[in-house]
Amino acid sequence: MEERIVIVGAGQAGGELAAGLRKQGYKGRVLLLGDEAHPPYQRPPLSKGFLLGKMALSDLYLKPRETYERFDIELKTGTRVEAIDRSTREVSLGDGSRLAYDKLVLATGGRARPLSLPGLEGARLENLFSVRSISDVEAMRGRFVPGNHLVIIGGGYVGLEAAAVAVQLGLRVTLLEAAPRLLSRVTGPEVSSFIEQLHRQQGVEFRLSCQVRGLELDEARRQVRGVSLTCHGVPERLEADLVLVGIGLLPNTELASAAGLAVDNGIVVDAYACTADPDILAIGDCANQPSAYTGGRIRLESVPNAIEHARVAASTLMGKREPSAAIPWFWSDQYGLKLQMVGLSTGYEQCVTRGAVEGKEFSAFYLKDRRVIAADVMGRPAEFMAAKRLVASRAQVDVTLLGDPAVPLIRLAA
């Protein structure tokens, strides 16, 4: 019988893998199962151009639906996998049917971390949102109207991008962050302060070091009317027309753990994207993988990672062994400014900036033992390429030359 690869999750990683298998000449059946109504699509525009109304739905799709037919990929949208039976090598679907696999790839991504506050149990709130899917954006769009007050809980990239879109659409925006500065887990104070100023100039208000105490609901418990919080010990109440929660992601690992596979902040895989079961792989946001860059294990939430991890899995499934040597990178767009980040700055000893912070074109390099371990590049795409090479080279650098914009960065990366 023809071999079958079943991919669970028709998102960025699942879609890339299905296409990658065909590109590598895989001759068996490829089934791509997704519980959303859409073919695989890009999520980054959900908090950027699509939310702003500048991008059509079809532009989000990685490929038009017909392309899957052309590549002989059996795409089944609206199809949820409920369980894995490893003894019979079958998955059970939401409609009660079962589907056999020879190889199974979990590309289940994650879901927005819900707000956990007393008193919200059982409430179905029509103006409390998160942004993970097309349907999330479609649900909130009608409330993104001029004059409405949007309260955003969480000062990470998704919250900040949504804030940028909202002010451009004429909403009033207040962003609440528990840490003393924005993006504190992923960037240095210099960049946090730059981003804060960028948003303040556009009218976004911030409450930093702030604890959300509760949501005030209407009598029917359908609408949030206000948010109560404490900021530096001072209680405050903010009225709200809508609330957006951007406090991170929970990886979708339940299928794997129910099937007895190891889960530890993601489905545990080896350098070839394999779980301990030789017939089951996991890729993308849901997977915890070894990292050649950190020397430890890592779970990444980014498009470049989803694409690279799909490539690794496709090679494994084709009988090759090609682990990843990629360095994590990510981008964000706020008010038309492109921010690009490479590496992880955790544990850095020194930050060197290059260029004019006021001119909104500068880079921040994070060093440890005089080696650049990470960089944040604002509005300088050409410099980003050199920054990537610099991080990859692990070479020790002269910090004076690094901070001097007259010295081509590429020379230091050579």
Residues that bind ligand FAD (CB under 6 A): 8-14, 33-36, 43-44, 46-47, 80-81, 107-109, 131-132, 158, 252, 255, 284-286, 301-304, 306, 330-332
The secondary structure element, H or E, covering residue 381 is: helix 381-393
Distance CA 35, CA 399 (A): 50
Distance CA 279, CA 90 (A): 11
Classify the C-alpha dihedral 293-339-112-119 as positive or negative. positive
The smaller minimum CB distance to ligand FAD, of residues 263 and 412, is found at 263
Conformation bin of residue 370: beta by default, left when phi > 0, alpha when psi is -120 to 50? left
Token representation of residue 17:
């893998």
Distance CA 330, CA 341 (A): 5
| Closest separation in Å from C-beta 36 to ligand FAD | 5
Residue length of the chain? 414
| Closest separation in Å from C-beta 114 to ligand FAD | 15
The smaller minimum CB distance to ligand FAD, of residues 8 and 75, is found at 8
The smaller minimum CB distance to ligand FAD, of residues 50 and 365, is found at 50
| Closest separation in Å from C-beta 313 to ligand FAD | 11
Residue nearest to ligand FAD (CB): 11
| Closest separation in Å from C-beta 239 to ligand FAD | 26
Q: Are 222 and 242 in contact (CB under 8 A)?
A: no
Token representation of residue 77:
């949208």
The smaller minimum CB distance to ligand FAD, of residues 112 and 210, is found at 112
| Closest separation in Å from C-beta 410 to ligand FAD | 24
296 C-beta neighbours (distance < 10 Å), count:
7
Q: State the pairing for strand pair 172-176/149-153.
A: parallel
| Closest separation in Å from C-beta 352 to ligand FAD | 25
233 C-beta neighbours (distance < 10 Å), count:
7
The smaller minimum CB distance to ligand FAD, of residues 229 and 339, is found at 339
The smaller minimum CB distance to ligand FAD, of residues 192 and 332, is found at 332
